[in-house]
Amino acid sequence: MTATQRKIHRGSAVAGLSLALAACATAPPPLAELADAESALARARSAGAAASAPVELRFAQDKLAGARTASEERDYRTAATLARQATVDAELAAAKARAAAARDAARSKAEDNERLRATLLGEGAP
């Protein structure tokens, strides 16, 4: 084997070893993603998602539970993915809850306006 061939083989071995080590490396624990999901769930609950968007809230809770389990099993990539999905589901639940509250407020104002109109025009009983 010539010196050039040895260099090529050595370079190939180093490259192969580097790839093998990179494949074994794990992602860090998704602490920020888990915290974001927990915060998003808390916001959804406080917005009234349990009543207005229970399906989306349940999806978020289930995905966060899955993320926690995956993190405990050191499957950090799966944990991060599930935590991000839980955040999105919780944000959707919160948005639906806020929309429902806005619809209720608009309906209430329309009813108030109708009563006022009827009173002013003398159409209803005083």
Looking at mean pLDDT, say which of 25-39, 75-89, 104-118 comes out highest: 75-89
Torsion of CA 30, 34, 39, 41, to 10 degrees: 150
**What's the domain count of the chain?**
1
Torsion of CA 34, 37, 43, 48, to 10 degrees: -130
Asked whether residue 20 is domain-assigned, the answer is no
Asked whether residue 18 is domain-assigned, the answer is no
Asked whether residue 84 is domain-assigned, the answer is yes
The pLDDT, as a whole number, for residue 36 is 97
CB of 68 closer than 8 Å to CB of 79:
yes
Asked whether residue 60 is domain-assigned, the answer is yes
pTM (predicted TM-score): 0.71
Residue found under tokens 């968007």: 53
The pLDDT, as a whole number, for residue 123 is 78
Asked whether residue 10 is domain-assigned, the answer is no
For the cut 90, the answer to whether the pLDDT of residue 65 exceeds it is yes
Asked whether residue 90 is domain-assigned, the answer is yes
For the cut 90, the answer to whether the pLDDT of residue 96 exceeds it is yes
Alpha-carbon gap, residue 53 to 11, rounded angstroms: 58
Asked whether residue 47 is domain-assigned, the answer is yes
> What is the DSSP annotation of 40-77?
HHHHHHHTTHHHH-HHHHHHHHHHHHHHHHHHHTT-HH
Q: What is the pLDDT of residues 4-44, one digit of tens each?
A: 666 666 666 555 555 544 444 568 999 999 999 999 999 99
Alpha-carbon gap, residue 118 to 34, rounded angstroms: 53
What CATH number should be reported for the domain holding residue 117?
1.20.1270.390
Work out the average pLDDT over 91-99. 97
For the cut 50, the answer to whether the pLDDT of residue 92 exceeds it is yes
The pLDDT, as a whole number, for residue 122 is 86
Give percent above pLDDT 70 in the chain.
Answer: 78
* Residue type at position 8: I
The number of helices, as runs of H, and strands, as runs of E, in the chain is 5, 0
Domain span including residue 41: 28-121
Asked whether residue 12 is domain-assigned, the answer is no
